[in-house]
Structure 1
Amino acid sequence: MKLSAAGVEKIKPTDKRQEIPDSLCVGLYLIVQPTGKKGWQVRYRHGGVHRRMSLGAFPVLSLAGARERARQTLAAASAGTDPAAEVKAAKAPKLDGDRDKIKTLIGQFDKRHLSKLKSGAVVRRELERHVVSAWGERDVHQIGKRDVIDLLDGIADSGRVVTANRVRAYLAKFFGWCVERDILATSPAAGVKPAGKETSRARVLTDDEIRWFWTACEAEGFPWGPFGKVLLLTGQRLNEVAQMTDSEIRGDLWHLTADRTKNGRAHDVPLTGAVRAALDEVERVTDEEGRVRFIFTTTGRTPVSGFFKARAVLAEAMVGIAQKERGEPVEIPRWTFHDLRRTAATGMARLGIPVRVTEAVLNHVSGTGGGIVAVYQRHDYADEKRQALEAWARFVLSLVEGEADNVVRLQHG
């Protein structure tokens, strides 16, 4: 019904609670209690969930005032915020000014949930990098669906669609945890779609690009120069290399325990002379207690991070090196650190190394290494892995030195 000021006055109570909608302001209801008390309520949806919020009692809040407040509430809900949750947070006692800040809650999320997961350190790093850096000082109740979308769009627009989708998944977990602990009523990430469609990458650096990359690493120095060389020469995963420690190196072998690998399988990586030379370039940094925790670190406390910026620096250096070499503008298609792993795998295939050996080098279980083979084939391919990595290192160095045509290709055994 279309409510009027006079009509609201005349409505009589009954033995049941009455909820009378206002046809002029959809979402606004007049609530009439059996006791005769009257009040205003607005209803809206947030994160796919129906929400209700009291606006005030009649006649303290008039019909005109109720309509104005209802429109403001509905507009805020449309923008992605949860007005009822904000009112609840405002009324809650402020025991700690930082209690509901994003940076505080992500720290608790890490302590109580992420720290128990194998991938927890990666998730925490990405939340710090993309979420805490943007919202760290904000109260979690101020974050709406629109804020989440804007954050993800910004990441995707910088060319990192896959990263945006991963951050979306991490935020969904974080906000879901906040709901479970009654910090939030609903998750502002609910209903947010992926930032874009992910496509399988097939980027492999060309021989020229490998040479330019190596030269860029030489010029860059610590930490990204040696780091990039080790990634290229070993073909191992980004975080496995970033978190490398001296205690994992046993002579000319790098031993990764099961908790250090993505697939939970212990893994040995033979270290070629070229890799050992790259590691020797790294001056060890100690922490406050004089301990060396990681090989690739600038603080002594945590492994290197900021991979996106590091890649950009090396990519820019590659372009400069290429243009100087050719004497003309050169455009190098975008590559990522993970593409170095694919480049190593492809390079070993070019050298005639069997696929099963390459998979053993990469600690990758699929294809020829899956199914019954993974159960009954216990040969660790130690000798074959060493031969493959030695051949790959010789090939890379031959490209750098301009002698690639003289590299002997291995043949399938």
Structure 2
Amino acid sequence: MKLTDTAIKNLKPRDSKYYIHGDMSNGRHGFAICVYPASQKYPSGTKSWFFIYRFEGKRCFLPLGKYPTMSLADASRELERHWQVFASGKNPATVEEDKKIELEAAPTVKKLAEEYIERHAMANKKSWLEDQRILEKEVYPAWGKRKAQDITKRHVNDLLDKVVDRGSPQTANNIFKIIRKMFNWAVEKDRLKISPCLGVKAPAAITAKDRVLSAAEIKTFWNSLDNPDASMTVEVRHAIKLILLTAQRPGEVSGMHTKEIDGNWWTIPADRSKNKKAHRVYLSPLAREIIAKAIVEAKAAQKRAEARKAREDNISRKVSEEKEYCGYIFPCPHLKKDKPIERHSFSKALKRNESEDGLTTLGITTFTPHDLRRTAASFMAESGEMDEVIDAVLNHSKQGIIKVYNLYRYDKEKQKALEMWEQKLISIVTVTEPQADASQS
């Protein structure tokens, strides 16, 4: 029947409840009103609106409201709301509960970040430990307990603006790169429907990576590393010098192992190199001297650790003085496990040695560990080394057709270039007269 206010008002109770189904002008089916038997409390009976439908083979009765509290017009609008849910393939009777369950199961930002680190970053990024550190320090305190799906573009901008306002614009850029990648990964894996970073721009201008230390700066910085007042471990001091001397990446130097060294050559294995190709680095006499000193320190640290372990186990054990050291050249002094110092240890050490205004580090204009690699390359270029040789020293991937046809490894040329750079570096840090600056050439 066609439901009208008059027709509904005139419906009388019977011995048992009954339903009157109404035709909707828009073609929606399932609209009905139920008339209940009269009772002592309700002598004239009661009437309730229902949406009756079949879902997954079962007949469902969804109450919409009581008449006349809910008028025919209001009931029609309520039916339309539930019909849209039904048309989308969901059960209108359980959709709210389903949403609640889905929300409870939705990952927090911390949970999502941990999954991102484990499933993506650890497998694809050599800098995953740095990503993890930044997330733990910068993101978890602000968002860790929030549901990832509740983070909005406004939240992203507010977080980044606070970091910029405290005077760390490049840190804000790094945070943005990490969370943008994390949220994009979450969308790819269907953990989220949309990334809150969509449409957000880098919070600060990207600074050009062109910092090259001058000869005078190299001398000041190098000698400052030997100053016992410098706030950094002996492992970091040796490693930073080796970055400048070998022109290799900070992360590759930090993970150097005795198994990678054969005579005058250090082979960085493919799984530790940025371009996934094994890379041979010539170790000049000064480089070998620094490594030898580092090994002495590492062996001493190992002996202390073994002695401490023996005391803890209440075992009388003498560590052999003649035992050849095998392990990381720059072991982490703060961990009991056999691990190297982490790449960001260099940046943190330099940060600790910054002036109060943040403009100078170890007596020179502030710089990053990677700037030392660029400085070495610049001085090699100033000495007349060909770009191909410098690229070979730096382990840059070949581009274009040369990538296919030029498979020469340039070992002789690399050795000559690094020997020349060592001589130049020694003259810089030992002589008293001014030196020419690669940064000015």
TM-based fold match above 0.5 = yes
Matched, 1:212 2:244: no
Structure 2 residue ranges without an equivalent (≥5) = 1-22, 34-48, 51-63, 71-96, 310-325, 437-441
Aligned residue pair count = 328
Deviation, 1:207, is 1.1
Change (3 A) 1:177 1:193: same
Paired residue for 1:392, among 421, 425, 435? 421
Deviation, 1:346, is 1.0
Contact 2:164 2:203 in 1 (8 A): yes
Contact 2:330 2:340 in 1 (8 A): no
Counterpart for residue 338 of structure 1: 370
Residues 40-69 of structure 1 deviation map (CA, whole Å, 9 limit, x = unaligned): xxxxxxxxxxxxxxxx99989xxxxxxxxx
**In structure 2, C-alpha distance between the alignment counterparts of 1:397 and 1:353, rounded to whole Å:** 18
Paired residue for 1:295, among 326, 330, 334? 330
* Partner AA of 2:267 in structure 1: H
Contact 2:173 2:202 in 1 (8 A): yes
Q: Which aligned pairs between 1:201-350 and structure 2 lie closer than 5 A?
A: 201-219=209-227, 220=230, 221-282=233-294, 283-284=297-298, 292=327, 295-298=330-333, 299=335, 300-301=338-339, 303-304=341-342, 305-316=344-355, 322=363, 332-350=364-382
**In structure 2, C-alpha distance between the alignment counterparts of 1:296 and 1:236, rounded to whole Å:** 18
**In structure 1, C-alpha distance between the alignment counterparts of 2:182 and 2:421, rounded to whole Å:** 42
Q: Which aligned pairs between 1:88-237 and structure 2 lie closer than 5 A?
A: 92=102, 100-119=107-126, 121=128, 123-132=131-140, 135-141=143-149, 143-157=151-165, 161-181=169-189, 183-219=191-227, 220=230, 221-237=233-249
Contact 1:17 1:34 in 2 (8 A): no
| Root-mean-square deviation (Å) | 4.1
Residues 289-318 of structure 1 deviation map (CA, whole Å, 9 limit, x = unaligned): x98456242324353234443222344499
Length-normalised TM-score, structure 1: 0.65
Contact 2:428 2:435 in 1 (8 A): no
Change (3 A) 1:383 1:405: farther
Length-normalised TM-score, structure 2: 0.61
Contact 1:246 1:294 in 2 (8 A): yes
* Partner AA of 2:341 in structure 1: P
Contact 2:389 2:410 in 1 (8 A): yes
**In structure 1, C-alpha distance between the alignment counterparts of 2:208 and 2:123, rounded to whole Å:** 30
Deviation, 1:159, is 6.1
Contact 2:247 2:394 in 1 (8 A): yes
Deviation, 1:211, is 1.0
* Partner AA of 1:309 in structure 2: K
Deviation, 1:132, is 3.9
Q: What secondary structure is seen at the aligned counterpart in 2 of 1:113? A: helix
**In structure 2, C-alpha distance between the alignment counterparts of 1:155 and 1:202, rounded to whole Å:** 24
Residues 339-383 of structure 1 deviation map (CA, whole Å, 9 limit, x = unaligned): 111110111122222222212111123xxx533333323332212
**In structure 2, C-alpha distance between the alignment counterparts of 1:390 and 1:258, rounded to whole Å:** 24
Change (3 A) 1:120 1:88: farther
Identity of aligned residues (%): 33
